[in-house]
Structure 1
Amino acid sequence: MRRSRTSSRQQHIQTGPNLSETACKKPLITPGSPGEDGVNRAGTLKKPRSTCHTLTMMSEPAVVERPALEDVAEEEDVFAAEGSSCCQVVEKRVGCPQEEGEKQLTYPPPVPLAFRKQVSYRKAIAKSSLHQLPCEPSTSSLNRTDPEANIRSTADWTESAVYGDHIWFETNVSGDYCYVGEQHCIARALQKSVSRKKCAACKIVAHTICIEQLEKINFRCKPSFRESSSRNLREPIIVRHHWVHRRRQEGKCKQCGKGFQQKFTFHSKEIVAISCSWCKQAYHNKMSCFMLQQIEEPCPIGAHAALVVPPTWIIRVRRHQSSMKSSKKKKRTSFKRKSSKKGAEEGRLWKPFIIRPIPSPLMKPLLVFVNPKSGGNQGTKILQSLMWNLNPRQVFDLSQAGPKEGLELYRKVHNLRILACGGDGTVGWILSCLDELALNPQPPVAVLPLGTGNDLARTLNWGGGYTDEPLSKILSHVEDGTVVQLDRWSLRVEPNHTAGAEPDEQQNDKLPLDVFNNYFSLGFDAHVTLEFHESREANPEKFNSRFRNKMFYAGTAFSDFLMGSSKDLSKHIKVVCDGTDLTSKVQDLKLQCLVFLNIPRYCAGTTPWGNPSEHHDFEPQRHDDGYIEVIGFTMTSLATLQVGGHGERLSQCREVTLTTTKPLPVQVDGEPCRLAPSVIYISLRNQANMIQKTKRRTSIPHLNDQQHVPDRLRIRVSRISMADYEALHYDKDKLRQASIPVGLIVVPGDSDLETCREHIQRLQEDFCSLSPFKYLELQEEAAKPKTFSCQRLSPKWCFLDSTTADRFYRIDRAQEHLNYVSEISQEEIFILDPELVVMAAVGTSPSTMPDLVNPTSSPINSRQESSQKTAEIQQGKEMERLIECVKNKDVKKLQELHTKGTDLTSLDESGCSLLHHAVHTGCKEMVRFILDNAPSDLLDVTDHLNGETVLHQAAALCHRTICHYLVEAGASLMKTDMQGDTPKDKAEKAHDAELAAYLGNRQHYQMIQREDQETTV
């Protein structure tokens, strides 16, 4: 029937009839139908520029002919059956504007409708990834000549860059899910385990040997640039979605609002979702949720649209095009400055890529520099995550090249912001490059601290190091951060000819850096740093552990203290601050370390200047006042730094002249050397723009949508052990179940976490005054039992952010004053206690969960205990009625009882839930009703006799459909009963091989789900 309708009218499109909704609602997209080339922005067809597209029209009022769900699920296997001829046709049709002299492409033979149905989603999505921009690259740019060119881990900025090229990183994900599909998977054909790689930009996973097979299915990464063309000036610049098939997807469908769940099909690896790599929108892979017209819709880019550099801004310029244009126009001498150096000048001026920004007051384009060597393996992970959240071409790897190239490329971008991911040295490197390029205005720099130390990052409220805060949240802070100024100080060194020469010692005439942002010091601390630096250069293999490095530092400091190598420092220096000679004061105090400090933080977070508010001689320290603080240390004051002490305040000045009479160890922002006798001049160089992290609410209300902040918040506090956090931090529901209540606090609605910490500490003091063996329990519906003692919180506890969609995140204690309690809590706060010891539950009712209320304000009196017993008796009667309904398979009666308020979460004396009884009867309607109306906690409730969950029982009874219902609802497939059997083992013992295979497949999904092979939305 469809074949006859299709063949009734086929025509080649020469001119453009209007395709408005009244004339032709939805054209059928065939494997060769036009993407952006065939349909213009107004929704009308236009004459193709280089290819002849075929659009099949219906004789009746046009209706979309989209593939059925089962056809879409099989698209992985279609191309292998069709052969290489189809792929060749596709490659021809995906082409770009015709080059001069190129022959017109011929029409391909008609393609059967069944084939079109099966591949319409595949081809439409494949074409969408190539037709998102106003101009697509020529076909020559899509042809690879070097087999290694497609295995790249950074963006290619050369002329030979491939449009839609993936950026591959090693991955340790397991499973049989290579994106090319089973028909094209070489590893599957070889039946052996091979390495896999994951694309950082679109998050697909493929075997290393299968990467070239992506060409066969015509799948490319989200485009990060566009080609130059004169026609682009007359066309609107938009970015289209980059749709990717996903076999696994978290979150909910944007269309229907339901979660993404696997269909119940044995040995199936279905595509469950279609999501966009730019905006992260995701839809179910079915016609009711994902419409074909969405493929050509403009993409909103997502939550960080203000930070993302659109691919339409980044333009590749062909070398031969420039020469052709210059030859046709009037004489231009810009490319021929000197005839004798024609080639050199042209090579220097021509760049393969240029940035053509479109200024907008709402845009804050972000340029990111990542130092992968900082913070162990953190840098590499952050690099990949930023490429996923942003355009890969706005993220630069500093291990490949310095920041200068990226800064030069983006120097004309209006309202540019920079994110430096690394240590303070990385920030200083970027600031020095900004000085060299003399950008005006200078873009502000934010810091994502990696590694240890990070005093500048602490000063700007970015914390002392990256833990596991969501990068999306960090990007929001970068966008909303306040721009502040940072003083930068010049160091000019001249040799001190009056001092006696000491040729035997290794000494330098110059400092490692001629500018500092944090501090310049000499004496004890510089000597320890220099010894560490020299030892590491001599034996780098001995310094590959952070713990060993710290131990070496401690040992060197202790030996230097015993030897007193810096005790005579004051005898060999002369200090003049703003014309005032402080040498006599330095000698009187017998200082062994002298620090010229620009920021309040020093030595991994200490505050050596302290708070001089009670002294009228000095002002509080600022990083933007044009003054530098001069501080001296004795061995005693150095020792007290870590416990809140401060050094000897000597001066706040604008200029310093420091004279040394012997070689001394010095360090500039952590870079040490042994400096020969010199005269050092310190003066203000300039001020750099920096981004300071500020308090930010998760949702900022509009002017016409003001949200009321409550005067007081009543919040429940629960703590989590480190073992539970490490095992379950990706499973929010189970982590909530594993938490132990601490109590209730009442705080003002606009409180930050520092205020909450004070309330929690007071709550602990009140609670721990009780007997340590006293247990308090209250009823809470639909929760599991736990018993706990009043174990005191350890000093190292920290807050957890539980509001993100995917997992819990730790909050740095140094940033608690920047987070409102409303940002991380709705009604409950979770805290991580690394020293928490959880006690086993003893003698608790299976239907209760303890909720600790401050015993001083809410005691459990005898009246409450009496009412509790009455409620338990009433609950037992209700349970009997419910079990009777289930055994009789009376669904209507069960619905009536539920409507009257009967609790479906009750357990009988054997620990079996109502769901256990429903599974035992095998009534599918009953199971479906309970799953739809009861909390998901029932899925993993175990009986007292065998320790079996409902899925164990369903598998043992070979109830396939019920097993599917339970797995779809989220039942655990890794939970074992008292015999150590999983649900899969139960199915095997029941001799149901297909059910066991299905459960094994789903168990494998759960085991690797947290690695998320393809994407998380």
Structure 2
Amino acid sequence: SCQVKFSKSALRRKCAACKIVVHNACMEQLEKINFRCKPTFREGGSRSPRENFVRHHWVHRRRQEGKCKQCGKGFQQKFSFHSKEIVAISCSWCKLAFHNKVTCFMLHHIEEPCSLGAHAAVIVPPTWIIKVKKPQNSLKTSTRRKKRTSFKRKTSKRGNEDNKGRPFVIKPISSPLMKPLLVFVNPKSGGNQGTKVLQMFMWYLNPRQVFDLSQEGPRDALELYRKVPNLRILACGGDGTVGWILSILDELQLSPPPPVAVLPLGTGNDLARTLNWGGGYTDEPVSKILCHVEDGTIVQLDRWNLQVERNPDLPQDELEDGARKLPLNVFNNYFSLGFDAHVTLEFHESREANPEKFNSRFRNKMFYAGAAFTDFLQRSSRDLSKHVKVVCDGTDLTPKIQELKFQCIVFLNIPRYCAGTMPWGNPGDHRDFEPQRHDDGYIEVIGFTMASLAALQVGGHGERLHQCREVTLLTYKSIPMQVDGEPCRLAPSLIRISLRNQANMVQKSKRRTSMPLLNDPHSIPDRLRIRVNRINLQEYEGLHYDKEKLREACKLEEDLQSVTSTTQRVHYQDQESSFPRVLSVQRLSPRWCFLDATSADRFYRIDRSQEHLHFVTEISQDEIFILDPEMVMSQQVGTPPGMPDLVVEQATGISDRWNPAVRKRMLSDSGLGKISPHYEVPDKQKDASQTHILTSVFFLSFAALLQAVISGDLLKFIECCKKGANLLIQGPDHCSLLHHAAKTGNGEIVKYILEHGPAELLDMTDSETGETALHKAACQRHRAVCQLLVDAGASLRKTDSKGKTPRDRAQQAGDPDLASYLESRQNYQMVSHEDLETAV
């Protein structure tokens, strides 16, 4: 019951995640009725079992939109403004709603798993986010620490300092259907719409995947989520906000870099317009925005370096006042100097002085117009051409600039400029220039007079000067400049512009394509390659609080490439056994167990009875640690004991490798089988300095097949296949045999693989580059192979990790005829798909 019955002006609080409103004085009532906000994480107890599903979070509602999930009727509310009747029960996660009746909302709904609703693919489930539990020393460990003078206390303290301020860790579950989303909102962009947008995203998503950039930068969040597969980012703000996030991604060097989508909240929003996100946010439903982010295509965006030095042609005493460096050293949209930069500088200085007057996008544009008109009357940039020198790819453009007396010079990376205008225009049949692209590695140089600047607003364009890869710009006086909308007045300088890299961006698609089509091939699960480290009990007890030293204790002495020759010499095969083998000096004892190496404070043992509750990716970060209590100690704690165990599969035929019964114990009920017995491989090489490697028939057969593909020996290839070789296998370079055959251009072998191999081969991707066999053939301009693959049904719309289709790869390889053929076949495929979708 409400404690503030007669006060209409009592202070209230509203939860953005649950959408409940409560008076400050009534907060204690929530505790009494045992109401909890929807859980956004799980507690990280040392041995807490994993609950791999999310439960519904049911909330009573006095007002509810939509219809009841059970009966399909609406929620009728008579005099709902004053009514205190509970009319609905809805879930804060999936947004399902039921009438508050026994016939609609039943008891089994309370405990059933939640699907997370329509946006489950982009929501970070609370089961992924684990709260780090601070290590609490028990009486036993405290006593042991007093008796021993080890380094456990020091390492524990250092671990606490390293993890200070990071109370959570992320343990994702990889799935090709998941595209987890991070949302960064800049409330200060444009008309200050960010606060409202922030609350709406917290309602639809997990609040711990939504971040307010006015509170802290994006670095910590990106660090936290850096290992999440298929991650996407949504930047809610202006073009400056997008550039900020891209710069942090550069510094963190995430691999692969997550693609960035844009929700335009700024004033110009030229990058958002280029990527089809529009010129501003106008109350579009957040649910629709999330669908567009999920379904958007990945494209590349060129990014350019700006290197600034003092003008070497001017003596020190002649340098004018002004900034010594630009506000940004990288630009994504454009870099300009002259009239437009002067107007932007005035706007920037006025907003810094009176921020309360610039809380509307319309008011901001009106100020721009007024400042531009004033500057036009004063003609402050009329002498710009006399004080600059521009050289593009070795071509001096200064004479032309001085001849046409430009008052503004723009170095443009994207087609849009100045709130949506297109200054480059469409060159059409102009032979000297190509249409502008944001992913071609070229920058467009454009000059403007006052007349051409005015014509921009009615569809005109500037004077096209050059398309180049490098620019050298010399200025001889202080000139207003702007970098992606950030202005300054730069002192006389030497500026060099060069290509930095390409960023992955999400381009808004015209139609939704995330639903699987009828004839789309099933995706092939990625193959997991992981290193296994074996640890004895003494090392575990001495070093389990220090991750780095424990890793050093089992560090590899050699990598697989360095022992390739040894692998070929030492070949051991047991034809009576089909179990995976572990090569080690000692066999594993029956008491061995897995260690959880992902906790922030220490390593933990995983009980055998709880192995089915953990996934491989949850307990490992690129490697697995195994504790063997009966392992004989040959070295002191803290020194490398040598090569860790290598788990190698032995193939006795085609089907054994894909048979779950012969896989090693890694996965549990969710798809990982129990581990098979381990056997010790006898040491046939007496030389103690040699590393003993077990090579299976599986890898030798692949080597023979690959040699036949490279040499173009069809008869040898057929002979290997008849002996039971598996055409689905991938080599150390993550490529299938069809990839290699398409790359070498051997049409006969490609045709044989297509006729005798499974259909999954057609669109199987290289796990490093994301390329299909058709991508490989298009890159090498093998037209006959491309035709074979297309006729067999290879997808022409599948993109690689850089968002490129086979047609794009053919265009980049310099084969326009092949690109035209692939484009026509792609259009035919799209028509066929649409016919299948709309058939009755």
Counterpart residue identity of residue 407, structure 1: L
What's the secondary structure of 1:613's corresponding residue? coil
- Is 2:14 the counterpart of 1:198? yes
**Is the contact made by 1:249 and 1:260 (CA closer than 8 Å) also made in structure 2?**
yes
Q: Give the corresponding residue for 1:533.
A: 348
Q: Normalised by the size of structure 1, how large is the TM-score?
A: 0.48
Hey, what does 1:916 align to over in structure 2? none
2:375 aligned partner? 560
Residue in structure 2 matching 1:224, options 35, 40, 44 = 40
Q: 1:494 & 1:685 partners in 2: Cα distance?
A: 18
Residue type of the alignment partner of 1:624: D
Of the three residues 360, 377, 391, the one matched with 2:206 is: 391
Distance 1:541 1:704, change over 3 A: closer
Deviations 1:942-972 (A, max 9, x none): xxxxxxxxxxxxxxxxxxxxxxxxxxxxxxx
Secondary structure at 2:273's aligned position in 1? helix
Contact 1:187 1:193 in 2 (8 A): no
Check if 1:432 corresponds to 2:247. Answer: yes
Equivalence map 1:824-835=2 (5 Å): none
Which one-letter code corresponds to 1:208 in the other structure? N
- For 2:315 and 2:8, the matched residues in 1 are separated by 72
Change (3 A) 1:443 1:499: same
**Structure 2 match to 1:274:** 89
Q: Which residue of 2 aligns with 1:291?
A: 106
Match of 1:479 in 2: 294
Q: Is the 8 A contact 2:292 2:512 kept in 1?
A: no
- Whichever residue aligns with residue 203 of structure 1, its letter is K
Give the partner amino acid of 1:389: Y
Aligned equivalent of 1:414: 229
1:692 equivalent to 2:507? Answer yes
Distance 1:208 1:264, change over 3 A: closer
Letter in 2 for 1:533: H
The unaligned stretches of length 5 or more in structure 1 are 1-182, 706-822, 824-1017
Name the SS for the 1:457 alignment partner: helix
TM-score (norm 2): 0.58
Q: How does 1:861-876 map to 2 (within 5 A)?
A: none
Return the letter of the residue paired with 2:305: S
536-545 or 652-661, which deviates more: 536-545
Given candidates 150, 167, 170, the residue that maps to 1:352 is: 167
Letter in 1 for 2:497: I
**Does residue 207 of the first structure (1) align with residue 58 of the second (2)?**
no
Which digits, 9 at most, give the CA deviation of each residue in 1:504-537, with x for residues without a partner? Answer: 9540111100000000000111111112223333
Counterpart of 1:304 in structure 2 is 119
SS in 1 for 2:401: helix
Paired residue secondary structure (2:195):
helix
Residue 405 of structure 1, CA deviation: 1.0
In structure 2, distance between residues paired with 1:426 and 1:696: 27
Matched, 1:405 2:220: yes
Q: Helix, strand or coil for the counterpart of 2:451?
A: helix
Secondary structure at the residue paired with 1:224? Answer: coil
Distance between the aligned counterparts of 1:342 and 1:313, measured in 2? 25
For residue 614 of structure 1, give the secondary structure of its aligned residue in structure 2.
coil
Report what 2:744 is aligned to.
none
- Alignment partners' CA distance in 1, 2:25 and 2:504: 47
Match of 1:630 among 442, 445, 466: 445
Give how far 1:310 is off: 0.2
Q: 1:682 aligns with which of 473, 497, 505?
A: 497
Structure 1 counterpart of 2:466, which letter? S
Which residue number corresponds to residue 279 of structure 2?
A: 464
1:541–1:191 distance in 2 versus 1, CA, 3 Å: closer
Measured in 2, the distance between the counterparts of 1:624 and 1:336 equals: 53
Structure 1 pair 322/599, CA: closer, same or farther in 2 (3 Å)? farther
**Are the structure 2 counterparts of residues 246 and 540 from structure 1 closer, same or farther at C-alpha, using a change threshold of 3 Å?**
closer
Could you list the per-position Cα deviations for residues 428-479 of structure 1 after superposition, in whole angstroms to 9, with x for gaps in the alignment? 1100110111100000000011132100000000000011211101100100
Distance change >3 Å, CA 266–CA 279, structure 1 → 2? closer
Structure 2 vs 1, CA of residues 426 and 323 (structure 1 numbering), >3 Å: closer, same or farther?
farther
> What's 2:66 paired with?
251
**1:636/1:271 CA distance change after superposition, 3 Å:** same
| Partner Cα separation in structure 2 for residue 287 and residue 585 of structure 1 | 81
TM-aligned CA distance change 1:267 to 1:685, over 3 Å: closer
Deviations 1:894-936 (A, max 9, x none): xxxxxxxxxxxxxxxxxxxxxxxxxxxxxxxxxxxxxxxxxxx
Amino acid at match of 2:328: L
1:295–1:338 distance in 2 versus 1, CA, 3 Å: closer
Say if 2:454 is the partner of 1:639: yes
Per-residue CA shift, 1:699-751, capped at 9, x if unaligned?
Answer: 9575289xxxxxxxxxxxxxxxxxxxxxxxxxxxxxxxxxxxxxxxxxxxxxx
Task: Give 2:193's aligned residue.
Answer: 378
How many Å separate the matches in 1 of 2:433 and 2:363? 40
Do the aligned partners of residues 503 and 194 (structure 1) sit closer, same or farther apart at CA in structure 2, a change above 3 Å counting? farther
Distance 1:336 1:423, change over 3 A: farther
1-side partners of 2:160 and 2:81: how far apart?
62
Kindly state the Cα deviation for residue 231 of structure 1 after the two structures are TM-superposed.
4.0
How many residues align? The count is 519
Residue ranges of structure 2 left out of the alignment (5+ in a row): 521-833, 835-840
Closer/same/farther in 2, CA of residues 686 and 702 from structure 1, 3 Å limit: closer
After the TM superposition, which residues 444-463 of structure 1 pair with which residues of structure 2 at under 5 Å, given as runs?
A: 444-463=259-278
- What is the distance in 2 between the residues matched to 1:325 and 1:357? 34
- Say whether the 8 Å CA contact 1:336–1:346 is kept in structure 2: no
CA offsets 1:737-783 (integer angstroms, 9 cap, x no match): xxxxxxxxxxxxxxxxxxxxxxxxxxxxxxxxxxxxxxxxxxxxxxx
CA shift, 1:326, in A, is 9.6
How far 1:672 sits from its partner (Å)?
A: 0.6
TM-fit CA distance, 1:563: 2.5
SS in 2 for 1:209: helix
Alpha-carbon deviations, 1:777-815, whole Å to 9, x = none?
Answer: xxxxxxxxxxxxxxxxxxxxxxxxxxxxxxxxxxxxxxx
Larger Rg: 1
Quick one: structure 1 residues 505 and 661, their matched pair in 2 at CA, closer, same or farther if it must change by over 3 Å? Answer: closer
Amino acid of the residue matched to residue 282 of structure 1? Answer: A
> Distance in 2 between the 1:240 and 1:222 partners?
10
The answer as to 2:136 corresponding to 1:314 is no
Cα distance in 1, alignment partners of residues 461 and 40 from structure 2 = 51
> How do residues 37-436 of structure 1 correspond to structure 2 at under 5 angstroms?
183=1, 185-188=2-5, 191-233=7-49, 235-262=50-77, 269-321=84-136, 346-350=160-164, 351-436=166-251
Amino acid aligned to 2:327: P
Instruction: Give CA-to-partner distance per residue, 1:598-640, whole Å, 9 cap, x none.
Output: 0000000000000002201000000000000011111111110
Query: Of the two structures, which has the highest relative contact order with CA contacts closer than 8 Å and spacing of 6 or more?
Result: 2
Q: What is the one-letter code of the residue matched to 2:504? A: N
The Cα of 1:539 is off from its aligned counterpart by 4.6
Matched position secondary structure for 2:509: coil
Classify 1:376/1:535 alpha carbon distance in 2 versus 1 (closer, same or farther; 3 Å): closer
From 601, 612, 630, the counterpart of 2:416: 601
Quick one: distance in 2 between partners of 1:337 and 1:242?
Answer: 42
Once residues 362 and 699 of structure 1 are traced to their aligned partners in structure 2, the CA distance between those partners, rounded to angstroms, is 9
Q: Is the 2:194–2:237 Cα contact (8 Å) retained in structure 1?
A: yes
Aligned residue among 363, 377, 391 for 1:576: 391
Cα distance in 2 for partners of 1:265, 1:531 equals 51
Quote the RMSD (CA, aligned, Å). 3.1
- Mapped partners of 1:263, 1:539: distance in 2: 47
Rounded to whole Å, the distance in 2 between the matches of 1:342 and 1:492 is 44
State which of 404, 407, 411 in structure 2 corresponds to 1:592.
Answer: 407
Shift of 1:498: 2.1
**Deviation of 1:207 (Å):** 1.6
Give the counterpart letter for 2:162 in structure 1. R
The letter for the 2-side match of 1:348 is D
- Separation (CA, whole Å) in 2 of partners of 1:570 and 1:671: 22
Return the letter of the residue paired with 1:425: G
Q: Is the 8 A contact 2:312 2:494 kept in 1?
A: no
Task: Tell me the CA shift for residue 312 of structure 1.
Answer: 0.3
- Describe the SS at the equivalent of 2:352: helix
